[in-house]
């Protein structure tokens, strides 16, 4: 029997999930904001529905699988956007619900290893909105899977422009830990979650190989035959970097993904970021 997958916020990750759902025989609807996004959704065989989640009247189709990938609003400490969607869907909840959150909900952990048992400690409104969204999705569906992702990288999601411009980064001995997941791994795990009955409802979705930002960018620079990014001290960074960038850099943690590996048996395609970078450069649009 055909199932219906509804993907709210069908962008880069959502299109990858949509392609998997179509291949599995699902009817798939991707909610988007732009015509460019709609074309990408239709290109994988899914139906695109253009909606402004903040302003339009929401008439949403019933679904068997709900994938919620839309970001929260840009201001405030609550995800009112998600609540509008959940209210429009109404009860009962779909059989499978998946939400991609962020590891930012843990706040600064001073470089400690962080698993899902650590209490959330959001230190910015950006993270508070995500904590609020996690609570809302679990109130809507107690068995919803929350996937806490760190930095997502992949084709056309690399700091190539910064490397070319010689944008500095914080010196390695003062830098926070950096965690990441390749977008193809994230999409694969999200799709598996939309079919699964795993024993927990919250999972860290990281490649499990934290590094300093410098190691990641130096490797990419070498692949592009560019010089490594210049290093500056923290005091200088506070004078030169934007408040948004500093807010990320002030949070240091190493994401533990052992629960995910134990419960799901998933094998990361890009557990080594070097392979992920090489594959991303091969796949992305030509560079100018």
The pLDDT value given to residue 241: 94
Would you say residue 287 has pLDDT above 60? no
Confidence at residue 286, expressed as pLDDT on a 0 to 100 scale: 59
pLDDT at 284: 81
* Dihedral-angle region of residue 46 (phi above 0 means left; psi in -120 to 50 means alpha; beta otherwise): beta
Whether the CB-CB separation of 32 and 41 falls below 8 Å is answered with yes
Confidence band (pLDDT; 50, 70, 90) for 205? very high
> In angstroms, rounded to a whole number, what is the distance separating the alpha carbons of residues 70 and 49?
14
How far from 22 is each of 6, 19, 31, 164, 196, CA to CA, in Å? 12, 5, 15, 38, 17
How confident is residue 1, by pLDDT bands cut at 50, 70 and 90? low
* pLDDT at position 288 over 60: no
- pLDDT tens digit sequence for 162-194: 999 999 999 999 999 999 999 999 999 999 999
Residue 250: inside a domain: no
Phi-psi region of 223 (alpha: psi -120 to 50; beta: other; left: phi over 0): alpha
Q: Is residue 130 in a domain?
A: yes
204 inside domain: yes
Best CA proximity match to 279, nearest among 189, 161, 155: 155
pLDDT > 80? residue 285: no
Q: Is residue 138 part of a domain?
A: yes
pLDDT at 200: 98
Task: Give the pLDDT confidence of 11-32 residue by residue, as tens digits.
Answer: 999 999 999 999 999 999 999 9
Query: What is the average pLDDT across 264-275?
Result: 97
The pLDDT of residue 57 is 87
pLDDT greater than 80 at residue 119: yes
- Specify if 219 maps to a domain: no
Q: How many domains does the chain have?
A: 1
Inside any domain, residue 241: no
127: domain range?
Answer: 71-156+179-210+256-277
- Per the domain annotation, does 271 fall within a domain? yes
> What is the pLDDT of the chain when averaged over all its residues?
96
Give the model's pLDDT for residue 55: 86
Cα(65)–Cα(54) distance, integer angstroms = 22
pLDDT tens for 221-256 read 999 999 999 999 999 999 999 999 999 999 999 999
What percentage of residues in the chain have a pLDDT greater than 70? 98
| Region 33-53 average pLDDT | 95
CB-based contact 76:130 (threshold 8 Å) = no
Tokens of 18: 């949509």
Per-residue pLDDT, 103: 98
Q: Report yes or no on 115 lying in a domain.
A: yes
**Would you place residue 74 in the very low, low, confident or very high pLDDT band (cuts 50, 70, 90)?**
very high
CATH number, domain of 134, equals 3.40.50.720
């Amino acid at each position: 029997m055909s199932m219906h997958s509804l993907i709210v916020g069908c962008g880069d990750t959502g299109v990858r999930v949509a392609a998997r759902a179509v291949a599995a025989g699902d009817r798939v609807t991707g909610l988007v904001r732009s015509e460019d996004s709609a074309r990408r959704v239709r290109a994988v065989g899914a139906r695109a529905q253009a909606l402004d989640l903040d302003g339009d009247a929401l008439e949403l189709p019933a679904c068997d699988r709900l994938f919620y990938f839309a970001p929260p609003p840009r201001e405030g400490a609550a995800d009112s956007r998600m609540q509008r969607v959940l209210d429009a869907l109404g009860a009962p909840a779909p059989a499978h619900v998946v939400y991609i959150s962020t590891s930012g909900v843990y706040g600064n952990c001073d470089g400690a290893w962080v698993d899902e048992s650590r209490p959330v400690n959001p230190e910015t409104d950006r993270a508070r909105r995500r904590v609020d969204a996690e609570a809302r999705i679990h109130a809507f569906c107690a068995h919803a899977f929350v996937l806490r992702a760190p930095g997502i990288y992949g084709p056309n999601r690399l700091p190539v422009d910064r490397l070319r411009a010689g944008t500095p980064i914080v010196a390695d001995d003062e830098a926070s830990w950096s965690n990441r997941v390749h977008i193809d791994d994230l999409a694969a795990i999200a799709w598996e979650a939309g079919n699964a009955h795993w024993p927990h409802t919250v999972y860290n979705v990281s490649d499990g190989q934290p590094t300093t930002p410098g190691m990641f960018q130096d490797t990419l620079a070498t692949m592009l035959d560019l010089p490594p990014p210049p290093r500056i001290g923290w005091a200088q960074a506070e004078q030169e970097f934007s408040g948004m960038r500093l807010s990320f850099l002030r949070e240091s943690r190493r994401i533990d993904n052992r629960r995910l590996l134990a419960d799901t048996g998933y094998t990361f395609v890009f557990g080594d970021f070097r392979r992920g970078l090489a594959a991303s450069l091969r796949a992305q649009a030509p560079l100018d």
